[in-house]
Amino acid sequence: MNRFIVAVTAAMLLAAAPAVAGVTEEDLARDAESTGDVLTNGMGRNLQRFSPLTTLNKENVQNLVPAWAFSFGGEKQRGQETQPLIHDGMMYVTASYSRLYAVDLKTGKEVWQYDARLPEGILPCCDVINRGAAIYGDNIYFGTLDARIVALNLKTGDVVWNKKIADYKEGYSYTAAPLIVNGLVITGNSGGEFGIVGEVQARDALTGETVWTRPVIEGHMGTLNGKESTMTGTLNATWPGDLWKTGGGATWLGGSYDIDTNTLVFGAGNPAPWNSHLRNAGAPTEGNVGDNLYAASRLGIDPATGEIKWHFQTTPREGWDYDGVNEVVAFTDKDGNKKFATADRNGFFYVLNREDGKFLNAWPFVKDITWAKGIDENGRPIYNEENRPGDPSKAADGAKGEMVFSSPSFLGGKNWMPMAYSQNTGLFYVPSNEWGMDIWNEPVSYKKGAAYLGSGFTIKPNYEDHIGSLKAIDPVTGEWKWEYKNAAPLWGGVMTTAGGLVFFGTPEGDFVALDDTTGEKLWSFQTGSGIVGQPVTWESEGEQYVSIVSGWGGAVPLWGGEVAKKVNYLNQGGTVWTFKLPKQLAAAN
């Protein structure tokens, strides 16, 4: 697509967006370039997490100092995986247990708080976290652990509307930041370990009324304007019998939006149950039978209708809980080619064509991958079949299949924690973990609202000196330009800036800035609790600010096995730390 067509396409999409007061579609489209606010999760709907600001840079970052800190308070701590939003002199930040705060940017004082007051019996898989909100018009939108989406007034925090995504009693929840495109609030769902069905939904941002739904497991029907539209995929093409009805594929991390192709890109999680032999996927099959589409896949979706434009499945016949939900980031390479990149839970870094999602290349981004020998020319894994957990039905007692050691672990070479792309260096900065697992399969049957795994596991570190590893990766060659090792697992987001900096946090509580070309540590600050949040930066009155939320939790302490024991000393917390580079210290020392 040439530059003229791209410009015309973008202009047409903006013109078609509904007219609203407050934050507009045009504001959202330009969020990545604007420097005075942060309106979207990912600092732009392409999720590059790159700031064009240069006031703070390699020469003066040592002068970055705390401006204020805001505590979420109370006993509701646990993991804080959120990304703050910045708008009109306010910070809007979500917290554990489905809370949302409005905080004055200058003083750090609370202006209002909304608490979702969750019902008994919620079934969150991986801690009571929330990953952020979205702003449009005069409203702010966020999801809750009882699988609802709420619209609040930006100024007052009053409820504008509150809608049900799915039934939490069946295992559904919602933890991602919503995505807003052309006046629609786009959401996924969570609950992949409970035999739910992954789905993407679009609602009118002003009224909350559903416009379309798109289940991501084949055999299910989508809807458009209250009526059935089309079936997802082809019934029983890649799923045996009725297993598609509880096929998993949770869309739990939300999505991105590529305005150049007018495409939503969502990932689908693991197929259910984990035991691949029960899904007729335990051995090579002809064609795509047993692939279990569209689980463990990335999907390109039409934002107006919910129709699937294309798909790319990272792990067909998935059997290790290698969700396909990790973010898909749009970028333009050094030669002007428009591409997508995604670092999958399975340990491979993929580059796709942005027009049609077709496979271009893939390389490992972790040191040890045992489940596959590599990726073939079509983007399919070359399996090590002996590394697939064994079939329980073939065991002597029928209770437990053969145990294997697999790397990466089911928590992934990279899990939810977002990577960042630098428009200056052309590199991706990928937070990864070097760990494996003992894993085995077990018999299981579906029961509504109960865990639906059919597997057991124990996670183990692969190396004595580190688990976490932040890597600078060239998306043209797959080369690792540098690696920053961390003793504990990395579980938070990354941000890059035009000032040549890479920001991220560690479970040990350090908020760190590295040199984007060398990986050298240039600055750090101890926040008092583990960091699993997502940093942002903005400018106000000539000063550059950086914020991060500190508060240890997430999946690692809950599911981490031997790894969890290594980090059980870490303190919980719940604090927004905001730093600034004072004007008088902006010049390099």
The identity of residue 44, as a single letter, is: G
Lowest mean pLDDT among 42-51, 521-530, 559-568: 559-568
Q: Strands 480-486 and 501-505: what pairing?
A: unpaired
In terms of Cα–Cα distance, which of 148, 44, 143 is closest to 99?
A: 143
pLDDT at 564: 81
pLDDT at 569: 83
**131 annotated as belonging to a binding site for a ligand:** yes
Q: What's the DSSP call for residue 531?
A: -
User: What are the tokens at 521?
Assistant: 């540590």
* Higher per-residue pLDDT: 51 or 15: 51
The string of pLDDT tens digits covering residues 247-294 is 999 999 999 999 999 999 999 999 999 999 988 744 445 557 789 999
Contact at 8 Å (CB) between 75 and 99? no
Determine the average pLDDT of the residues in 5-16.
53
Segment (H or E) for 563: helix 562-566
In terms of Cα–Cα distance, which of 375, 340, 335 is closest to 354?
A: 340
CB-count burial class (<10 Å; 0-12, 13-18, 19+) for 399: exposed
**175 annotated as belonging to a binding site for a ligand:** yes
Looking at the predicted structure, is the pLDDT value of residue 20 above 90?
no
pLDDT at 5: 47
d(CA 526, CA 152): 34
pLDDT at 585: 78
pLDDT at 515: 98
pLDDT at 3: 43
**251 annotated as belonging to a binding site for a ligand:** no
For Cα atoms 148, 176, 510, give the angle at the middle one, nearest 5 degrees. 135
Question: Which residues are annotated as catalytic?
Answer: 321
Looking at the predicted structure, is the pLDDT value of residue 176 above 90?
yes
**270 annotated as belonging to a binding site for a ligand:** yes
Q: Per-residue DSSP letters for 186-211?
A: EE--B-GGGT-B-EEEEEETTT--EE
The string of pLDDT tens digits covering residues 456-493 is 999 999 999 999 999 999 999 999 999 999 999 999 99
User: Residues near 10 by Cβ (< 8 Å), separated by ≥ 6?
Assistant: 29, 259, 260
In terms of Cα–Cα distance, which of 347, 313, 336 is closest to 471?
A: 347
CB-count burial class (<10 Å; 0-12, 13-18, 19+) for 406: buried
Confidence of residue 562 (pLDDT cuts 50, 70, 90): confident
**479 annotated as belonging to a binding site for a ligand:** no
pLDDT at 560: 80
Determine the average pLDDT of the residues in 98-119.
96
* Percent of the chain topping pLDDT 70: 95
Instruction: Output the CA–CA distances (angstroms, integers) from residue 216 to 299, 301, 330, 357, 388, in the order listed.
Output: 8, 10, 22, 16, 25
User: What are the tokens at 461?
Assistant: 């570190």
Confidence of residue 123 (pLDDT cuts 50, 70, 90): confident
In terms of Cα–Cα distance, which of 132, 68, 128, 76 is closest to 100?
A: 132
Looking at the predicted structure, is the pLDDT value of residue 79 above 80?
yes
Q: In what order do the strands lie in the sheet with 329-332?
A: 329-332, 338-343, 348-353, 359-364
Confidence of residue 60 (pLDDT cuts 50, 70, 90): very high
Looking at the predicted structure, is the pLDDT value of residue 19 above 80?
no
Lowest mean pLDDT among 8-12, 366-370, 371-375: 8-12
**321 annotated as belonging to a binding site for a ligand:** yes
pLDDT at 12: 56
Q: Considering the chain, what is the average pLDDT of its residues?
A: 93
Contact at 8 Å (CB) between 289 and 238? yes
Confidence of residue 334 (pLDDT cuts 50, 70, 90): confident
The string of pLDDT tens digits covering residues 215-253 is 999 999 999 999 999 999 999 999 999 999 999 999 999
pLDDT at 283: 46
